[in-house]
Chains A and B, each alone.
Chain A
Amino acid sequence: MQGPPRELDELLRALTRGDPSAVSDEDLARIEAALEADPGLTAALAAEPAGVGDPLVAAVGGTTPTPTAEEWARVWDNISAGTAAAMRPAVARRASVWLRLRVPLAAAAAVLLAIGTWWNWERRGGDAWEIRLAADVEIDDIDMQDSTTPVVIRLRPDGPVVIWALADMAG
């Protein structure tokens, strides 16, 4: 069976070797396209063991802690129980109904604060809320699930600021 073109073969080797500088983003796109088009190439790569000889893998493996025998026994006890009670934490932690309710409580508090701020503003006959694009907010990472819209309440000396985080429609 004829092998892949030499350059592609070299790129694949660099990729599996974990050499970030030897493969550009354009090369990566070519590799993905080639894999999609060639089932034989896909099968050959699929059979290759991943991580062999990679010092990063060795470092990660060498620094992974090992659960104790007691911890494994507790995990197994919970698994073998196989009931709703088995969904309790594997490691004993203080259970608190308030911890489980913290997210919905925080959401409710945010909504109440927003309503309260609006009502207070209306009652004082203030101007309509200023709506502007925030230029001084940096959100490094935020999880937006389904149709929910994250709301952030930022408290400043001159009053709260409500920040609605919207998905970047530009992609």
Chain B
Amino acid sequence: MNSLVRSSVDTSELRQIDAATRGDAAARHALFERYREVAYRVALRITGRHEDALDVVQDGFIRAFDGLAEFQREAGFQTWLLRIVSNRALDLVRARRVRLAVPLDADDADGRATVPADERSPQPDAALEQSELAARLRVAIETLPPDQRAVFALYATGELSYGQIAETLGIPIGTVMSRLFHARRRLYERLPDLAAEWGVETPPPK
């Protein structure tokens, strides 16, 4: 498969990967420390839950280390790891995502993402505002279909190119752009006040 990304994988990482393949614990730990945060952010945005995200990261690294012998070094360890992590996270989401109806308190009457009552807590104003924003974003992201959610989760790390996103998910770059477009449109429909605040025009909800 022609890679969309001619990544310049640094030689120090290649040496680490070689050592990790031989079972070197220090090399594996170095890779873990380098990529755990981005793996967690992707897993969190897909699963929506902190504990599940940690489980996915753990499982992802175990599978990545177990499969190092088959790892194609041209793509970069990060791309490969995030592919494993996003697939694992999607598997988890699909396994628990059987529901008959959206809970009535997930959205207000206009379909906007609101904070569930049990997530509001007495906090200083700035912290409360941040906490509520985090919860609203999480609720809104959880309304995305799994394929859009995966693309958005990778996009929202702010660390990948469009080509890396395509390569991670194994889809054409046009599909990445399409899913991302629909994901953002749906999120802005759910968060109209933020869209207005950021000067983003949103088309009428479908």
Give chain A's interface residues, CB within 8 Å of chain B: 15-16, 18-23, 28, 31-33, 35-36, 42-43, 45-52, 55-57, 59-67, 71-72, 75-76, 78-80, 82, 86-87, 89-91, 93, 138-143, 145, 150, 152
Interface size class of B (residues with CB under 8 A): 35 or more
- Residues of chain B contacted by A79 (CB below 8 angstroms): 28, 32, 58, 61-62, 65
Q: How far is the CA of A23 from the CA of B182 in the complex (A)?
A: 11
A46 contacts which of B4, B55, B57, B59 (Cβ < 8 Å)?
A: B4
A57 contacts which of B51, B95, B97, B158 (Cβ < 8 Å)?
A: B158
B163 contacts which of A45, A57, A61, A67 (Cβ < 8 Å)?
A: A45
Is B130 among interface residues, defined by CB-CB distance under 8 A? yes
CB distance from B185 to the nearest CB of A (A): 4
Q: Are B137 and A60 in contact (CB under 8 A)?
A: yes
Q: Are B178 and A28 in contact (CB under 8 A)?
A: yes
Q: Which of B36-44, B76-84, B108-116, B117-125 lies at the interface?
A: B36-44
Q: Are A19 and B201 in contact (CB under 8 A)?
A: yes
Chain B: which residue is nearest A141 at the CB level?
Answer: B99
Q: Which of B129-177 contact A (CB under 8 A)?
A: 130, 133-134, 137, 141, 154-158, 160-166, 172-175, 177
B98 contacts which of A22, A75, A142 (Cβ < 8 Å)?
A: A142
Is B68 among interface residues, defined by CB-CB distance under 8 A? no
28 A–B contacts, CB within 8 A, in A order: A19-B201, A20-B181, A20-B184, A20-B200, A20-B202, A21-B202, A31-B174, A43-B4, A49-B158, A49-B160, A50-B155, A50-B161, A51-B155, A52-B158, A56-B198, A60-B45, A62-B130, A64-B44, A67-B54, A78-B62, A79-B32, A82-B62, A82-B65, A82-B66, A138-B100, A140-B99, A140-B100, A143-B94
- Residues of chain A contacted by B178 (CB below 8 angstroms): 28, 31-32
Q: How far is the CA of A66 from the CA of B29 in the complex (A)?
A: 19
- Residues of chain B contacted by A43 (CB below 8 angstroms): 4, 163
Q: Are A51 and B157 in contact (CB under 8 A)?
A: yes
- Residues of chain A contacted by B166 (CB below 8 angstroms): 46
A87-B59, A89-B51, A143-B98 known; 4 new pairs, CB 8 Å cut-off, are: A42-B174, A65-B44, A65-B50, A86-B58
Q: How far is the CA of A65 from the CA of B198 in the complex (A)?
A: 23
Q: Are B57 and A75 in contact (CB under 8 A)?
A: yes
B173 contacts which of A45, A90, A139, A142 (Cβ < 8 Å)?
A: A45
Is B187 among interface residues, defined by CB-CB distance under 8 A? yes
